[in-house]
């Protein structure tokens, strides 16, 4: 067998696999490769395998084993049925042997940080909501956290780099990707490859404010979960600029399975969102953190307001999309 290359990590039945263990699996029991979980792109000889939800970038579609360019199997990891709490605890445990946690102070990242017990990083403009909330969360949880203050000129410098990197070039994607760019920049500079995040929780548990008024909650959740693939591609694109990747415990197949088994009506009701996640969180973090309703990343970090300011400064007072399009054209030499 030629050299086996692994980007990310793999597990089976809740146990991390070493490189020698993966090599033995590929050589001796290749059929069992399909049962592996984790976040990975694995290649050997003329074959490759990519994790179930495509968290790690790589050639070929997500959840597929390819040999000589043809699909020869699917990735469909197995594990015993477990409660949502056990699924989340297991997912975080499998990811917390290394890396840094991206902390914003909301329930999603606070629960992950409390379970992982690793160093945290928070980013935002001076005085931003997320920096304040992350500090309160880190203090409450007794965690070491670095608070990175970003400035308007840094956002302006990073924007062309981010727009060039992300697949779908629009203001919302640019705002989110810019925030994550600075998280990944800090991580890369400090020797971290894995950045553990809370992505996916809103789509799985009903975190967006629009879910409070929709008449089609079940359908909305299914659609938005499907849309996570594009979000993951965006996020990993900016992480890769710094030699890092985002690791997503809420996208673990155990957590997805447990979350999908909960009726939509139990996730959003009585003006409350993400109820099952908050119920789990209350057993691991203080009630004020578990119940806190946080702003979306691009708003909480202050990046969105800065992006609007930059657009106006550059003559785009009414359309941020036109500003993003302008940057994209400049980046392509037009």
pLDDT digits (tens, 9 = 90+) for 96-130: 999 999 999 899 999 999 999 999 999 999 999 89
pLDDT recorded at residue 294: 75
Question: Predicted confidence band at 334 (pLDDT cuts at 50, 70, 90)?
Answer: low
Average pLDDT value over all residues in the chain = 94
Q: Regarding the domain delimited by 84-300, which CATH topology (the fold level of the hierarchy) does it fall under? A: Rossmann fold (3.40.50)
pLDDT recorded at residue 301: 87
Q: Which helix (H) or strand (E) holds 299?
A: helix 297-300
pTM of the model: 0.94
pLDDT recorded at residue 160: 95
The domain ranges of the chain are 5-74, 84-300
Average pLDDT over residues 80-96: 97
In the chain, % of residues over pLDDT 90 = 87
Q: Which residues contact 249 (CB under 8 A, 6 or more apart)?
A: 88, 91, 92, 94, 95, 112, 196, 255
pLDDT at 194 over 80: yes
pLDDT recorded at residue 300: 83
pLDDT recorded at residue 2: 66
pLDDT digits (tens, 9 = 90+) for 7-54: 999 999 999 999 999 999 999 998 899 999 999 999 999 999 999 999
pLDDT at 292 over 60: yes
Cα–Cα distance, 41 to 49 (Å, whole number): 6
Cα–Cα distance, 181 to 236 (Å, whole number): 10
């Amino acid at each position: 067998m030629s050299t086996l290359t692994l980007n990310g990590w793999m597990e089976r039945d809740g146990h991390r696999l070493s490189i020698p263990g993966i090599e033995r699996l590929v050589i001796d029991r290749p059929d069992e490769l399909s049962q592996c979980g984790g976040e990975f792109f694995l290649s050997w000889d003329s074959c490759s395998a990519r994790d179930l939800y495509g968290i790690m970038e790589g050639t070929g579609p997500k959840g597929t084993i390819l040999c000589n360019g043809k699909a020869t199997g699917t990735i469909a990891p197995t594990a015993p049925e477990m409660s949502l709490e056990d699924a989340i605890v297991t997912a975080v445990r499998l990811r917390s042997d290394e890396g840094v946690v991206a902390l914003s102070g909301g329930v999603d990242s606070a629960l992950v940080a409390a379970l992982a017990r690793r160093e945290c990083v928070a980013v935002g403009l001076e005085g931003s909501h997320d920096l304040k909330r992350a500090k309160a969360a880190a203090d409450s949880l007794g965690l070491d956290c670095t608070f990175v203050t970003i400035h308007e000129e840094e956002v302006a410098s990073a924007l062309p780099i981010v727009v060039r990197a992300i697949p779908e070039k629009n203001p919302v994607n640019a705002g989110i990707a810019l925030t994550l760019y600075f998280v990944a920049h800090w991580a890369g500079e400090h020797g971290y490859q894995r950045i553990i995040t809370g992505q996916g929780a809103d789509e799985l548990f009903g975190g967006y404010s629009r879910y409070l008024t929709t008449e089609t909650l079940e359908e909305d959740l299914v659609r938005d979960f499907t849309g996570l693939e594009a979000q993951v591609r965006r996020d990993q694109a900016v992480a890769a600029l710094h030699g890092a990747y985002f690791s997503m415990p809420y996208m673990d197949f155990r957590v997805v399975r447990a979350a999908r088994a909960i009726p939509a009506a139990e996730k959003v009701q009585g003006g409350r969102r993400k109820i099952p996640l908050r119920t789990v969180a209350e057993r691991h973090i203080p009630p004020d953190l578990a119940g806190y309703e946080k702003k979306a990343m691009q708003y909480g970090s202050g990046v969105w307001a800065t992006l609007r300011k930059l657009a106006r400064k550059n003559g785009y007072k009414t359309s941020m999309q036109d500003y993003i399009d302008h940057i994209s054209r400049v980046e392509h030499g037009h």
